[in-house]
Structures are given as C-alpha cells and as structure tokens.
C-alpha cells in the first residue's frame, strides 16, 4: 500500500501529460481539418464561409477580356504584315520571272525547256532589275549603293562530250563562278562587257544551276490607314534555275526572305498616329500589371498548398504512423494554377515584345505571335476550372482526366502501326503518287484518311504505270482504312466512353474513398457557415449540398 501511494502522484502526472498531448493533437487535427476543408472549397463557398472575396477569380475574368482584346489588336496588325509580305512575293514573281502564269507549278514557280528560254529568262531578270524604279508599282528601291545583282553558276568541272558515240567524260566535282552587277553600273559599258563575257556561255550538259540573288527595300504605308506607324522591309530575293536533274526540264525557284527593319530618319506628321500608339502601349502596360498580379496570387496559392500538404503528411505520420499515398499528395498540387502561371509568364514576355514592336524598336513578330497566341489558349482553357464547380460540366473534366493515361498508352501502340504504314507507303507509292512523295506528306495523307477526308482522290490519283504497284496500293489503302477507322478509332472512342461511364457511376454511388477523403468526411462546416448575406453576382450560382461530398475540387 505504501508503494502504491508512493507512485500515485507520478502516475497522475503521466496521465495528465497524456491527456494534454491528446488534447493538443485533437486541436491540431481540428485546425488542420478546417484548413483543408477551406482549401478545397470553391470561390463561392469561401466567400460564404469567411466573406473572402475571390480575387483570383475576378482577376482571371478581367485577364481573359484584356488578353483576348490585346491578341485581337496584335492579330489585326500582324495581318497587315503578312498581307504585305505575300503581296510583295507575288509582285516579285511577276516582275522577275519571264512568262510567270500567276500560279506556281508545284514546289517551284515555273519551268523552261530550251536553251534559248534559259538565256532569255536570265537576261530578263537583269533587265527588270535595271528598270525596277520605272516599272514597279510599289515603294521599292535598291538596298544601298553597294548592293546589286549577284549571279553565280554551279557546274561540273571541265568535261568533254562526244556526239559521235554519245559518250560523256565528266568530273563529278563541282566549281562555282560568280559575277556582281551594281545598279549604277548596269547602264555603263563595263556592265555590257560583263554581260557579253564568257561567263554567260553556258554549257548545259555540265550545268547544275544558276542562282541570281539581290536585295530590295520597301515601306508598308498601308499601316498608316490603320493608325499605326509604318514598317520598313528588306527583301532578300533568290532566283534559282535548277538543272540538277539534267532531265531536259529546268525548274525555276523563287525564294524571298523578308526582314522587318527599323525605319531610319522618317518623319510622319500626324498626331492621331502618336496618340493611338500611346493608348495601345498604356493598355499593354495594364495587361502586364494584371498578369503580374495573377502570377503573384497563383504562386502564393501554390506555396500555401505545399505548406498545407506538408502539415497533413506530418500529422498523418504522427497520428496514424503511416505515409500519405501519392494520389492524396497530388490533390494539393493545383494544375490549373501551374497553367495560369505559365500563361502569365508568356503573356508578360509577349506584351513586352509587343510594346517594343509597336514602338518600332523590335521586329520579332513571329516570337511575339507564338507567346501571345499560346498564352491566350491557356487562359481560355483555364476557364474550364471554374466550369468544373458545376457537376454537369465537371463530368467532362473528370472524364478527360480519367481517360488520359489509357488514351496515351493506346496511342503509343497505335502509333507503331501508323509509322509502319507511313514508311511502307513512302517507299512503295512515293514514285507513283504525289501524296506519298515524302514522309511528312505521307503522314498527313494517312491522318486525313483516318478522319475520312479526301478518300476518293487518294485512290484515284495513283498512277497506273505498274500493275503490281497499283494492286499493292489497293491492298495498302483498304487495309489501312479498315484497320484504323473500324478498329483502332472505335477502340479509341470506347476507351473514352468507358471512362465516362465510370465517372457517371461514381457520381451516383460515390467516388473511391482515399485517406484524405476519409480524414475530411466526418468534419462538418458549421464553423464556416454564417448567416447568408447578399452575394456578389459571380457567386449567384450555387452547387447543391449533395455534390460537395462527391469530389475534392482542386
């Protein structure tokens, strides 16, 4: 009895310590459940719980309007640039290609078949370049005084051709010879001497190609009508007379590389243009500010989510002595926020480039187009997140999420068959069908056939020069269409349909319960529910209470 009395105070202290530890653990669990419950609420529920204004939602809606408006303005401006480039390319072909019909024959502009046509076409380019300022309808000029025509001919090294027995002795190594004609020299006797030199005595049996290159400059004045400052352009034109095949048909290629440059020493007297430019620059500045605010808020949300995940993992390990599964950890990583962050970064960089382009300090239209176009795509895709708060729309998101892994695995298997058909069609049908001439064209043609496009033309355009190849083409096309449309495409749709049926079944009978779901299941939201007050317009559409237990909205 004395021993029991001796250790009784210590036992009470231990019991008291255990009760205090249990009480602290319960308080920690209650606080964690409240934070988790609040984290997985949608903006409207957060407003009703704590009257916390959904700034991210408001900012995303504002950003959608601003980014889309910015993209439309830039697209209209970029459309003028593309139109000016294309129209100048067509004008150059009509100016410098003799007998150009207005339509390219294939991947080349036109073709010639006689030696006299070759000489006439080459001297036609030289004469048109000489008279450019007198015949051109556009604001074209020579690049600078030192620029001019560069004419190069590439041919096999000296060889002999015996007409008596039709033999040819030739060295396959090549040599290139060039001459340069300046615009101011074309009317002089020096230019006539060059034109009458042995350089233009072409030996066509060893000629590979003749290449004529020259630079021109122009100004796009049509942008003034759109209240924008004009751009200055530099056109690097190259005309290639390709005789590499030695088939009796010389193909003429015309290539024009356009470089937008900063106009120097230009003076435009119009206050409207300057004000319009300033207004657009100010608007772009507001877009950058809104995207910066969105970037900060979303980054902050991800950081807080990772801290909450760490609290949950540590608490689960402390109380239940086991680790949280990978799926529950991913519930805290909001992929929509990551998408918004990427979109914001691209919009900020694209807006800065757009402001520099508008101020005529940069000419990176292509890079700016890619950044702004992709960011706008991500912004509109991000709208799906807010539609997911409604059960009807959320079915689409959950179906895509559930079917994506299976669809990717299926596409990997189907892709192997697709590549096999691509290589087979290219090597066998390439010489007999224009849609199978190269691998890229074959892949595009087969993808069109999978979607039921241009089937009859693909069958009909095969050349019937070889009966064996014609029969093979029928077996090839029929087997591909039957396999991909009736089997592979049907299985592809079945995978998505199966995921959709699974999601519908889960919505009726309940989703699989994970540790995170079980942890939050018994926690009510009484502490959050307040007396209902007037709601902002954005929160007027409320979800049904029965829907809240179906999924965790991330």
Q: pLDDT of 251-281, one tens digit each?
A: 999 998 888 776 766 666 555 556 677 788 8
Retrieve residue 199's tokens. 């350089």
Q: How far is CA 90 from CA 104, 141, 242, 254, in A?
A: 10, 17, 20, 10
- Residue 19: pLDDT band (50, 70, 90) is low
Q: pLDDT of 157-211, one tens digit each?
A: 876 655 555 666 777 788 888 988 888 777 777 777 777 788 888 888 888 899 9
Average pLDDT over residues 387-411: 81
pTM for the whole structure: 0.69
Q: Nearest Cα to 219, choosing from 139, 144, 136, 147?
A: 139
Q: Which residues pair with 207 in a beta bridge?
A: 155
Give the model's pLDDT for residue 532: 39
Q: Nearest Cα to 252, choosing from 209, 214, 204?
A: 209
Checking if the pLDDT of 4 tops 60, the result is no
Q: Nearest Cα to 253, choosing from 108, 93, 409?
A: 108
Query: Cβ atoms within 10 A of the Cβ of 72, count?
Result: 11
Residue with tokens 């079980």: 518
- Residue 540: pLDDT band (50, 70, 90) is very low
Helix axes 467-483, 391-429, angle to 10 degrees: 170
Give the model's pLDDT for residue 192: 75
Give the model's pLDDT for residue 351: 92
Give the model's pLDDT for residue 286: 92
Q: Nearest Cα to 117, choosing from 239, 246, 207, 252?
A: 252
Q: pLDDT of 347-394, one tens digit each?
A: 999 999 988 887 777 777 888 999 999 999 999 988 887 777 776 677
Q: Which residues pair with 220 in a beta bridge?
A: 231
DSSP character at residue 535: P
Instruction: Count the helix, strand and coil residues of the chain and give each as a percent rounded to the nearest 5.
Output: 60, 15, 25
Phi, psi of 549, deg, nearest 5: -90, 0
Q: Nearest Cα to 337, choosing from 399, 373, 386, 390?
A: 386
**Number of Cα atoms under 13 Å in the Cβ half of residue 282:** 6
How far apart CA 347 and CA 288 sit, in angstroms, is 7
Checking if the pLDDT of 12 tops 60, the result is no
How far apart CA 94 and CA 137 sit, in angstroms, is 12
Q: For the ranges 65-69, 135-139, 240-244, which has the lowest average pLDDT?
A: 135-139
Phi, psi of 491, deg, nearest 5: -65, -35
**Number of Cα atoms under 13 Å in the Cβ half of residue 271:** 0
Share of the chain above pLDDT 90, in %: 23
Q: Nearest Cα to 128, choosing from 202, 207, 239?
A: 239
Q: Which residues pair with 239 in a beta bridge?
A: 212, 254
Give the model's pLDDT for residue 162: 54
For 108, the enclosing helix (H) or strand (E) is none
Q: Which residues pair with 502 in a beta bridge?
A: none
Give the model's pLDDT for residue 21: 61
């Amino acid at each position: 009895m004395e021993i029991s009395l001796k250790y009784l105070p210590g036992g009470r202290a231990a019991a008291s310590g255990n009760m205090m530890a249990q009480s602290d653990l319960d308080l920690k669990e209650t606080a964690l459940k409240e934070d988790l419950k609040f984290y997985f609420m949608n903006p409207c529920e957060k407003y009703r719980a704590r009257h916390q204004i959904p700034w991210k939602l408001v900012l995303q809606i504002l950003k959608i309007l601003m980014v889309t408006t910015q993209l439309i303005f830039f697209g209209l401006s970029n459309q003028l640039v593309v139109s000016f480039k294309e129209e100048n390319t067509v004008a150059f072909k009509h100016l410098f290609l003799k007998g150009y019909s207005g339509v390219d024959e294939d991947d080349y502009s036109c073709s010639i078949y006689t030696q006299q046509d070759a000489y006439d076409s080459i001297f036609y380019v030289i004469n048109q370049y000489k008279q450019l300022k007198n015949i051109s309808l556009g604001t074209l000029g020579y690049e600078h005084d030192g620029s001019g025509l560069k004419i190069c001919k590439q041919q096999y090294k000296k060889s002999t051709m015996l007409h008596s027995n039709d033999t040819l002795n030739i060295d396959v190594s090549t040599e290139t010879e060039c001459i340069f004609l300046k615009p101011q020299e074309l009317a002089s006797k020096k230019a006539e001497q060059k034109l009458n030199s042995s350089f233009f005595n072409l030996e066509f049996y060893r000629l590979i190609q003749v290449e004529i290159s020259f630079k021109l400059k122009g100004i796009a004045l049509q942008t003034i009508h759109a209240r924008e400052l004009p751009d200055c352009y530099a056109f690097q034109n190259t005309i290639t007379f390709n005789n590499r095949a030695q088939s009796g048909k010389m193909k003429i290629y015309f290539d024009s590389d356009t470089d937008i440059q900063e106009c120097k020493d230009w003076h435009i007297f119009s206050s409207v243009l300057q004000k319009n430019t300033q207004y657009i620059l100010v608007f772009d500045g507001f877009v950058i500010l809104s995207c910066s605010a969105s970037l900060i808020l979303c980054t902050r949300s991800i950081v807080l989510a990772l801290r909450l995940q760490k609290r949950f993992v540590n608490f689960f390990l402390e109380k239940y002595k086991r680790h949280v599964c990978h799926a529950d950890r991913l519930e805290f990583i909001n992929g929509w926020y990551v998408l918004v962050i990427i979109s914001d970064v691209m919009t900020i960089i694209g807006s800065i480039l757009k402001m520099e382009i508008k101020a005529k300090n940069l000419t990176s239209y292509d890079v700016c187009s890619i950044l702004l176009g992709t960011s706008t795509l991500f912004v509109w895709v991000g709208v799906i997140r807010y539609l997911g708060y409604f059960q009807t729309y959320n079915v689409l998101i959950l179906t895509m999420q559930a079917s994506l892994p299976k669809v990717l695995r299926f596409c990997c298997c189907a892709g192997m068959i697709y590549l096999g058909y691509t290589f087979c069609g290219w090597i066998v049908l390439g010489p007999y069908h224009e849609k199978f001439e190269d691998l890229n064209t074959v892949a595009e043609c087969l993808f069109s056939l999978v979607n039921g496009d241009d089937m009859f033309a693909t069958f009909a355009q095969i050349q019937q020069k070889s009966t064996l190849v014609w029969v093979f083409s029928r077996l090839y096309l029929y087997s591909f269409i039957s396999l991909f449309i009736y089997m592979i495409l049907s299985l592809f749709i079945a995978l998505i349909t199966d995921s959709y049926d699974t999601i519908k079944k889960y919505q009726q009978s309940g989703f699989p319960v994970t540790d995170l779901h079980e942890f939050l299941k018994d926690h009510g939201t009484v502490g959050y529910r307040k007396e209902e007050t007037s709601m902002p317009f954005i929160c007027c559409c409320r979800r049904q209470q029965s829907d809240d237990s179906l999924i965790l909205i991330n």
